[in-house]
Chain A
């Protein structure tokens, strides 16, 4: 067997400036090469200590619980809450992307936004009515929906206001959780809305449908019928188990690629109509004021986007050496086709490896080996999707949409639908800061 040394990364082809290596380097390098990777939180050590049994290895372990709980050492891995005391306003809970890996968000860490608290819904009493411009209004229960053909789909859900701090005039120092935590990805299983509309029949005058929740604010949005006949789903399961209360138990509307607020939770009513209802959330809230005084309305798509999660603020580097730059890319238009990474502020770019499977409208994990030489580095990622869309720069977004005139709180929403590039600056100590570049 060929005996590679820790220094053999030098043989690997450099793909771009400031130490970015070829994306296939880890695959080629084999076990010895992989062992050379320095973990983000692991200190560099000389040689390992002698091995011996630890106490937990010498006694029988705990009884298996009926519902598995994570290790007590992982209890710090939590969502951050904007309104922990439940004051009479919206609550946000953000996903800690810098502490997760892969592409599925665990159900307990999926982001939620709740505008009037989470209702305690008895699934046996919950009903879904479909009415309006249909041939026959129908009521469905959870039991009856269980008899319908189901589909599973991995898809992200993203709040239209995710990444709002990027509209701040100055970069806000915060973790990737605070900056990008209002997006998550799960496998959702349920019944296609088009299946139920076959049963109710559809009046040709129906152009939109109202979706409405059973929560206190009876949150409602108007959705084009086109989406109902495309890929809209009445989702019942989240990563294999029933949907979490904060994500709409016992059923939610799932509109892959469309802004989170439209994916109505606690779904109890669908009404087919000939015009949008101009509800609060589609006129006042989820409309984006432009510099010319006009506002975008019905701006449903969550467009192509990526950000680096490893490293990121709070997840710094521990000494020069080999690291894996990793992050998340996704697009409401379809599959991610390419992610490029720069370590020199966009002067040169290397193509990242995309973790298979690359699914439409789902998180795609990208990875790239990087030899950090201990000097300053400016890290960026940029994604392309299969429709040909490319992730814009922040400067392009600001030119078209404007920016905040001051520095708002990190939890504020000075803008929406930011899908521009995120930039992390690494200093000589390995600390990571949010910068604009």
Chain B
């Protein structure tokens, strides 16, 4: 208990800059790094658009990239097979089987599409796409789902503004735990 309480106090002290006493308790072996040198790993996109890189893409630019790099798992026009469909808007509830969560009927933020494609796809070569390709693929998928227009351009300004249909569909089970 003592150590836990102490570490909380130490962290609180560091808020106001009284760090010397706290730092004396740990080995201080972490190596400082310049934020610029973290850039290659710093890939998370926040829902307000924080982290989105320069560049842009349109649905038309995304279509050939999709055919080349995505179609084999996600099917023609994103309709699915063998892996998840990227296009389609079935009802979340009311079907005769379990809910099928799709981008159009479920995902609350368009920024998540960019984030997930860039960090995880294509399956065999993650983080091999250029930012331009990721913007273009994001635009292509959003357009097939009719969430943006066929000629809309996705970039760091426009993508966070895309309003996803299920944006307000989430509630926190235990707010006091956060």
Which residues from chain A sit less than 8 Å from chain B, CB to CB? 88-89, 116, 129-131, 135-140, 144, 147-149, 192, 194-204, 210, 212, 216-218, 220, 224, 226, 229-231, 268-269, 271, 273, 275-280, 283-284, 287, 289, 291, 293-301, 404-406, 408, 412, 414
Contact = CB atoms under 8 A, between A and B. Distances in A.
Nearest to A147: B27
A216 B121 CA distance: 9
The 8 closest A-B pairs by CB, nearest first: A138-B30, A144-B29, A297-B170, A217-B120, A299-B173, A218-B119, A201-B14, A194-B7
Given A280-B116, A284-B112, A130 B30 contact: yes
B177 A296 contact: no
B171 A277 contact: no
B64 interface: no
14 contacts: A131-B35, A137-B32, A138-B31, A147-B29, A148-B27, A210-B44, A216-B126, A275-B47, A276-B47, A280-B120, A294-B169, A296-B171, A298-B172, A405-B98
Given A138-B33, A284-B107, A297-B172, A278 B14 contact: no
A136 B173 CA distance: 34
Contact of B96 (A139, A147, A196, A405): A405
Contact of B27 (A144, A278, A283, A295): A144
B172 to A, nearest CB: 5
Interface of B: 3-4, 7-8, 10-11, 14-15, 19, 22-23, 25-35, 38, 41-48, 73, 83, 92-93, 95-99, 101, 106-109, 111-112, 115-116, 119-120, 123-124, 126-127, 169-174, 177-178
A326 B114 CA distance: 48
Given A116-B123, A275-B47, 12 more contacts: A88-B73, A194-B11, A196-B26, A204-B15, A276-B47, A277-B46, A289-B101, A293-B169, A296-B172, A301-B174, A406-B96, A412-B98
Contacts of A116: 120, 123, 126
Contact of A136 (B32, B48, B99, B177): B32
Contacts of A216: 120, 123, 126
A279 B115 contact: yes
B98 A293 contact: no
Task: Tell me which of B46, B98, B107, B115 has the highest count of chain A C-beta atoms within 10 A of its own C-beta.
Answer: B98
Given A88-B123, A201-B14, A216-B126, A224 B83 contact: no
Contacts of B177: 224, 226, 298, 300-301
A269 B40 CA distance: 11
Given A138-B32, A220-B119, A406-B97, A198 B14 contact: yes
A140 B31 CA distance: 7
Nearest to B83: A89
B7 A229 contact: yes
B116 A279 contact: yes
Contacts, number: 190
A408 B100 CA distance: 13
Nearest to A201: B14
A278 B98 contact: no
Contact of A199 (B26, B101, B112, B124): B26
Contacts of A291: 93
Contacts of B10: 198
Contacts of A301: 173-174, 177
B92 A88 contact: no
Contacts of B25: 198
A218 B31 CA distance: 23
A299 B7 contact: no
A192 B25 CA distance: 13
Contacts of B83: 88-89
B98 A408 contact: yes
A216 B45 CA distance: 18
Contacts of A271: 42, 44
Contacts of B47: 275-278
A172 B176 CA distance: 36
A83 to B, nearest CB: 12
Contact of A283 (B30, B98, B108, B173): B108
A195 B26 CA distance: 7
A404 B23 CA distance: 53
Nearest to A134: B14
B109 to A, nearest CB: 5
B23 A199 contact: yes
A296 B30 contact: no
Contact of A129 (B26, B29, B33, B120): B33
A296 B62 CA distance: 33
Given A88-B123, A129-B38, A293-B169, A283 B14 contact: no
Contacts of B96: 405-406
A135 B42 CA distance: 17
Contacts of A287: 170
Given A131-B33, A218-B119, A198 B45 contact: no
Nearest to A300: B177
Nearest to A273: B46
Given A147-B29, A199-B23, A275 B46 contact: yes
Task: Tell me which of B25, B26, B32, B106 has the highest count of chain A C-beta atoms within 10 A of its own C-beta.
Answer: B26
B117 to A, nearest CB: 10
Contacts of B124: 88
A283 B178 CA distance: 16
